[in-house]
Structure 1
Amino acid sequence: MPTSPNLPDSADQRPEAQTPPPQDPRQPPAYPTGPAQPPAPPAYPDPGPLAPPPAYPRPPAQHVTPPAQPAIPPRPATPAPLHAHHISTDQRRVHLKAHQRHADATALGSLLIHLPHFLSSLVVVGLVSLLVLGGLAFVGILAWLLSGLLVFHRPTEKTLARRLLGLRHPTPEEFSRLAPVWQEVTARAGVDAQNYELWIEENDTDLNAVAAAGHIVGVTTFALHRLPNGELAAVLAHELGHHVGGHAWASLLGYWYALPARLAYRVIRFLAVVTLRVAAVFSSLGFLVIALFLGIFAFATITTLYGLPLLILAAPYALAAVGRRAELRADQHAAALGFAPMLASVLHQMHEADQAARHQAALAARAAGTRLPEESAMAKLLATHPDHHTRLHHLQPWLQPRHPR
């Protein structure tokens, strides 16, 4: 029986794999590409509505005070303009002079004028020592001569300033006001400020200052509180000029050694006046006899002492002239330190104060039906300070502008 070719079973029928067409070797190979869109993420089951968070108990409400707001500082006020005569008192390097003080012509002149007083006092002290100590009279004379050194003794100076001049120590506030100004003055002068002490005079009406003894500078409360620091410096520089020139210690030393002669003169004059008055009560003849006796005694004294009493009578006028010269020298000292405009302003104020006081006195005299007496020539000769016009005139060389050369 002829055989037929085996037909494929229907269950095994599969399409034949299609072979790709041959690729051109000149083309690059084709790489497989991914899907056009990324696959969607898988869907998770819906958990349902979220449960609310658990409620915690709230603390009871408390009243909390808000913190205090810091105070806003006030806006700084615009500083007041400085006075025209204000000076800087900032600390700076100080160059001290080798010689802190000396004795100028006015100081030496004052000592020379006091020489007759000194010799007369020596005679008085010698006679008293001879009567009291006998053969040891030289001890009394030597002690009196050495007593002049007390002028430079600090405790003695303080006692004189407190008892005779009415000065006191400054308060801390007053010292804080004075000290910087004094430092500036002494720095310009090349003087050690610690060599001197600052004192205060309770006087609210007089613009004044004083150079006392050897180391004390006093200033009134009026000048301390009313003057700007530049004008106060000018006043202190003037007093420093008295110390630097030796005017203060020379005047005090001369006064101390002249004291015995002055006391003896006052005692003799008192006894003479009493004797003449008693003699005049009884009879005119007795008065003439006593007057003649006193005249003979005075003549003998003048002859024995080689005319020293006559010089003593003329000494007050000479001392006043020297004192006026010392004031001008102290003004020049302040002007040379750069305080001429300030000192001139102070002198103008003093002149105006004097004019106002004189005007008030004239009004009072007119209300009383009298006239104000004019200043006599003798009073001018005995004045220890020159008038303000004279002092301003001597300040002119420092007040005029200097043209550059």
Structure 2
Amino acid sequence: MGGRRTTRRQQGRGARTVERAAVWAFVPVAVMAPFTLLALAVFWLPLQLVSDVPFWWFVVAFLCLGLLLFVRPFQAAVLTPLLGARHPDPTETDRVTRAWRAIAQANNLPADRYVLRVLPSDELNAFACGGHLMVVTSFAAARLSEEQLRGVLAHELSHHLGLHTVAITIGHWMSVPVVMLARIGFFFENVSHAAAQSFGRQSPVIEVVGVLTAAVFRGAGWVFSLALRAVDAIGNYVGHSSEFEADKRAVAMGFGPDLASALRAVLAGGSGPRPIGWRGRLSASHPAARTRVARIEALARNPAR
């Protein structure tokens, strides 16, 4: 049940396959950047009333705060509970740790380099996040065989090695002020409508001002909301490429059959995870499991592809 040691030729081929995906993974970040700067400018303007902080210092502070997402202790202590994950229980620890040690050995990595966590869920799923975090659902930890867990963890490690998770984490952090402004815009739209309806009966001017204010906030909310939808659409398209490249690297590591077996378990269990919230934005970028199995089997037959 031990791991398979990757040859230099396989490692080189696996590294080359993720280069394009690593570059493309940052495309959504580039698209999000101007909207993030615009949102930060909106938050910075009221700050100018009470301080003399330059705008670019404000931007740098925001970016530096985001760097904490890549600090291993911060991920373990803060990001893990934010995702709703937990430490594996004794049974999960035994199974997941054995599978992970085989992956680490095959890639000449220290076993404690990455943080392994479990997400309580009845879905068969796993994802990588930040710079060190790998999460499997409790259902996957309980139902997948050790071989299948090896395939899943090899795939998630490939996301880390291919820098896909770096781009995703940066993108999510940059979207925070955009999401906040979109929600604030829609909130004040509702407040303005309520004010127009309540006080507009007393004065037509108040009604007109309330309606116009609501229209302004609605427009602002839609601008930032559409920006998020556009970036998510681009991210999902790019994410398909990242998933395929991570599969290629897992095959190059020697864990392709294990990963294909895990994906067949996903097919047998139904349609897979539902796109809800932050984790849903990750899962929405996954191609169909059936397609991935076919490509993995094709790579196994023709490793030079």
Structure whose alpha-carbon radius of gyration is higher: 1
Change (3 A) 1:399 1:250: same
Change (3 A) 1:390 1:129: farther
Structure ranking higher on relative contact order (CA contacts 8 Å, 6+ apart): 2
Give the total of aligned pairs: 286
Query: Could you tell me which amino acid in structure 1 is paired with residue 87 of structure 2?
Result: H
2:86 pairs with 1:185: no
- Residue correspondence of structure 1 range 91-170 to structure 2 within 5 A: 104-133=22-51, 135-137=52-54, 140-170=58-88
Alignment gaps of 5+ in structure 1? 1-86, 359-378
Aligned counterparts of 2:167 and 2:47: Cα–Cα separation in 1: 26
For residues 31-64 of structure 1, what are the alpha-carbon distances to aligned partners after superposition, in whole Å with 9 as ceiling and x for unaligned?
xxxxxxxxxxxxxxxxxxxxxxxxxxxxxxxxxx
Deviation at 1:241, TM superposition (A): 1.3
Change (3 A) 1:401 1:260: closer
Q: Check whether the contact 1:215–1:243 (CA below 8 A) recurs between aligned residues.
A: yes
In the alignment, which residue of structure 2 is the partner of 1:345? 261
In the alignment, which residue of structure 2 is the partner of 1:29? none
In the alignment, which residue of structure 1 is the partner of 2:240? 324
Deviation at 1:232, TM superposition (A): 0.8
2:131 pairs with 1:214: yes
Alignment gaps of 5+ in structure 2? 275-279
From 116, 119, 124, the equivalent of 1:198 is: 116
In the alignment, which residue of structure 1 is the partner of 2:165? 248
Aligned counterparts of 1:141 and 1:152: Cα–Cα separation in 2: 18
Change (3 A) 1:243 1:357: closer
Change (3 A) 1:88 1:125: same
In the alignment, which residue of structure 2 is the partner of 1:388? 289
For residues 111-157 of structure 1, what are the alpha-carbon distances to aligned partners after superposition, in whole Å with 9 as ceiling and x for unaligned?
22321332223313422431342x13455444223212211222321
Secondary structure of the residue aligned to 1:160 is: helix
In the alignment, which residue of structure 1 is the partner of 2:2? 88
Aligned counterparts of 1:274 and 1:296: Cα–Cα separation in 2: 12
Query: Could you tell me which amino acid in structure 1 is paired with residue 187 of structure 2?
Result: F
Aligned counterparts of 1:390 and 1:120: Cα–Cα separation in 2: 39
Aligned counterparts of 2:40 and 2:77: Cα–Cα separation in 1: 25
Change (3 A) 1:216 1:289: same
2:140 pairs with 1:223: yes
Aligned counterparts of 2:6 and 2:236: Cα–Cα separation in 1: 39
Aligned counterparts of 1:177 and 1:289: Cα–Cα separation in 2: 63
Aligned counterparts of 2:71 and 2:188: Cα–Cα separation in 1: 36
Deviation at 1:267, TM superposition (A): 0.6
Change (3 A) 1:159 1:128: farther
Aligned counterparts of 1:400 and 1:93: Cα–Cα separation in 2: 17
Change (3 A) 1:111 1:193: farther
For residues 296-340 of structure 1, what are the alpha-carbon distances to aligned partners after superposition, in whole Å with 9 as ceiling and x for unaligned?
6787x79xxxx9886455222222222333222222222222222
Deviation at 1:290, TM superposition (A): 4.6
In the alignment, which residue of structure 1 is the partner of 2:277? none
Aligned-pair identity in percent equals 31
Aligned counterparts of 1:183 and 1:351: Cα–Cα separation in 2: 27
Query: Could you tell me which amino acid in structure 1 is paired with residue 2 of structure 2?
Result: S
Change (3 A) 1:211 1:168: same
Secondary structure of the residue aligned to 1:168 is: coil
For residues 144-203 of structure 1, what are the alpha-carbon distances to aligned partners after superposition, in whole Å with 9 as ceiling and x for unaligned?
232122112223212333321222223455434333321221333344433212222233
Deviation at 1:237, TM superposition (A): 0.6
From 238, 244, 252, the equivalent of 1:336 is: 252
Query: Could you tell me which amino acid in structure 2 is paired with residue 215 of structure 1?
Result: H
In the alignment, which residue of structure 2 is the partner of 1:80? none
For residues 193-230 of structure 1, what are the alpha-carbon distances to aligned partners after superposition, in whole Å with 9 as ceiling and x for unaligned?
33212222233x32222212211112223322322221
Deviation at 1:93, TM superposition (A): 10
> CA RMSD of the aligned region, Å?
3.9
